[in-house]
Amino acid sequence: MRRIGLPLVSPFRTSASGVDSRDVLLVRVITPEAEGWGECAAMNEPLYSPEYTEGAHAVVREHLVPRLLQQPDVEATEVEPRLAPVKGHLMAKAAVESAVLDAELRAAGLPLATYLGATTGAVAVGVSVGLTPSVGQLITAVENYVAEGYQRVKLKIESGWDVGPVAAVRRQFPDLALQVDANEAYTLADSSHLADLDEFNLVMIEQPLAADDLPAHAELARRLRTPICLDESITSARVARQAIELGATAIVNIKPGRVGGYLEAHRVHDVCRESGVPVWCGGMLETGIGRAANLALAALPGFTLPGDISASRRYFARDVTAPFELLPGGRLAVPSGPGIGVEVDEEVLTEVTTGVERLRPAPS
| Bridge partner residues of 52 (DSSP) | 43
**Exposed/middle/buried for residue 147 (C-beta within 10 Å: 0-12, 13-18, 19+):** exposed
Q: Is the separation of the CB atoms in 263 and 290 below 8 Å? A: no
Closest residue by Cα to residue 311 from 111, 126, 121: 126
- Indicate the residue type of 7: P
Non-local (6+) Cβ contacts of 171 within 8 A are none
Chain length of the chain: 364
Catalytic center residues: 156, 255
Angle (nearest 5°) at CA 99 between 83 and 355: 100
Cα atoms in the 13 Å half-sphere on the side-chain side of 80: 15
DSSP 79-92: HHHHHTTS-S-HHH
**Exposed/middle/buried for residue 260 (C-beta within 10 Å: 0-12, 13-18, 19+):** buried
